[in-house]
Amino acid sequence: MSGKRVNILKSIPPASKNAFINYGIVIAAFAVITALRSLGLLSISLEGQLVPICCYIVMAISLNLTVGILGELSLGHAGFMSVGAFTGIIVSGLLSAAVPNGALRLLTAIIVGGIAAGIVGVLVGIPVLRLNGDYLAIVTLAFGEIIKNIINCLYIGYDSAGIRISMTSEAALGLGPDGKIIIDGAIGAVNIQKISTFTAGFLLVLVCLVVIQNLVNSRNGRAIMALRDNQIAAESVGINIVKYKMMAFVTSAVMAGMAGCLFALNYSTVVAKKFDFNTSILVLVFVVLGGIGNIRGSMIAATVLYILPEMLRGIRDYRMLVYAVVLILVMIVTNNPTIRSLLYENVLNPMKALIPKKKGGAADADEN
């Protein structure tokens, strides 16, 4: 039987094996963290970071689809995150009375937030993805700043008469006595009912993995990677450049919007400044250090690099200096073949040697 199991495992394509390994890592991490929480072994600080970590994992995986799989540089990924975040806040606020169930309201907000980010992704991608070069990076950079400034000027509230929107001031909304403000200009979204949970974050990471890994391993994914490797050759064999670029870019935007919604509904107050250029660069750092095109690396990098600054808070003034040094060292190690080979020879290979190997294999296969 063991020989049959070995043969079955060998017949599974490497891409599918990698996908199942990623699912296993996420499920195992969720089980371990849930157990630690139930035993009270997680600090309050670390518990508070669980939902944001899930959000940034989704952000890193989705950006890797654009940067690593499609091969296009996007510098405004936080812009799609902000669209999903504030759309989700509005939906959650408007449904607070009609849908008292927090989980159902969160699900609705995440779906609507993702759709809104996807629509914006289409509007950004239609004119830009037809062009070659670094136009996408320039436009997404501008898009991120434009969205931030629009939200800073946006006032949204509601009362018994319906929803009110203004671009001037809160007073211009003309809310009645029963009115509630949802977005208050530069102050941001206020009085948010926190309904995000770690379980929802875990499920969103799984959904993101399923969507993106299935896309990458499909016929459409191979067409997208062909565009990355050689756009002229891909076009010459009949691959529709705009269609497949749009497919990857919009999928990435939708997942970023969903992550933004989950992130925003984890706090009582959210400001547009949180989704600025620095956030886009932070997510890009996760992708680069995790390995461009490497989904598992993006997950690990997002987790470690998000937790690291929080762990260094004890040294206050020097924590960002230490963080920068760690990033530089990681870049040196990952991009230097000599150091990588030394790491494999002296660390990874000895660790593999400690793992006992099963006997049998071909002999068992012949017997069965």
The residue that leads in pLDDT, 333 or 277, is 277
Alpha-carbon distance of 268 to 224, in angstroms, equals 40
The residue that leads in pLDDT, 248 or 305, is 248
Q: Which long-range contacts (CB under 8 A, 24 or more apart) does 21-29 make?
A: 21/296, 22/209, 22/213, 22/295, 22/296, 22/299, 23/206, 23/209, 25/296, 25/299, 26/202, 26/205, 26/206, 26/209, 26/299, 27/206
Residue 331 is inside which H or E element, if any?
helix 319-335
Alpha-carbon distance of 270 to 261, in angstroms, equals 11
What b/e string do you get for 323-342 counting C-beta neighbours within 10 Å, with b at 16 or more? eeebeeebeeeeeeeeeeee
**Does the structure show a pLDDT above 70 at 5?**
no
Question: Can you tell me the mean pLDDT for 229-253?
Answer: 93
What pLDDT is stored for residue 329 in this prediction? 76
Q: What is the pTM of this model?
A: 0.87
CB 273 within 8 A of CB 79: no
The residue that leads in pLDDT, 361 or 162, is 162
Alpha-carbon distance of 75 to 144, in angstroms, equals 8
pLDDT-derived band at 341, boundaries 50, 70, 90: confident
The residue that leads in pLDDT, 126 or 336, is 126
| Domain enclosing residue 215, as ranges | 43-276
The residue that leads in pLDDT, 119 or 331, is 119
Residue percentage of the chain with pLDDT more than 90:
61
pLDDT-derived band at 354, boundaries 50, 70, 90: low
Residue 141 lies in a domain: yes
* Apex 279 CA angle, 147 and 80, nearest 5: 40
Alpha-carbon distance of 20 to 28, in angstroms, equals 12
133 CB-contact burial (10 Å; exposed 0-12 / middle 13-18 / buried 19+) = exposed
pLDDT-derived band at 170, boundaries 50, 70, 90: confident
> Among candidates 274, 281, 279, 242, which has minimal Cα distance to 67?
281
Residue 29 lies in a domain: no
**Does the structure show a pLDDT above 60 at 366?**
no
What pLDDT is stored for residue 364 in this prediction? 44
Give the least confident one: 114-123, 258-267, 300-309, 331-340: 331-340
pLDDT tens track for 178-222: 889 999 999 999 889 999 999 999 999 999 999 999 999 999 999
Residue 334 lies in a domain: no
Give the least confident one: 188-197, 307-316, 346-355: 346-355
**Does the structure show a pLDDT above 70 at 163?**
yes
Question: Can you tell me the mean pLDDT for 258-278?
Answer: 95
pLDDT tens track for 103-128: 999 999 999 999 999 999 999 999 88
Domain count, the chain: 1
Residue 251 lies in a domain: yes
Residue 15 lies in a domain: no
Could you give phi then psi for residue 337, rounded to 5 degrees? Answer: -60, -35
Q: Which residues pair with 166 in a beta bridge?
A: 155
What pLDDT is stored for residue 363 in this prediction? 42
What pLDDT is stored for residue 10 in this prediction? 61
CA distances from 192 to 40, 89, 95, 230, 276 (A): 27, 7, 12, 47, 20
Mean pLDDT of the chain: 87
Question: Can you tell me the mean pLDDT for 332-351?
Answer: 68
Single-letter code of the amino acid located at 258:
M
Residue 20 lies in a domain: no
Residue 154 lies in a domain: yes
Residue percentage of the chain with pLDDT more than 70:
86
What pLDDT is stored for residue 133 in this prediction? 67
Alpha-carbon distance of 215 to 225, in angstroms, equals 11
What pLDDT is stored for residue 356 in this prediction? 57
**Does the structure show a pLDDT above 50 at 365?**
no
Give the least confident one: 84-98, 212-226, 247-261, 297-311: 297-311
Residue 338 lies in a domain: no
pLDDT tens track for 36-50: 999 988 888 889 999
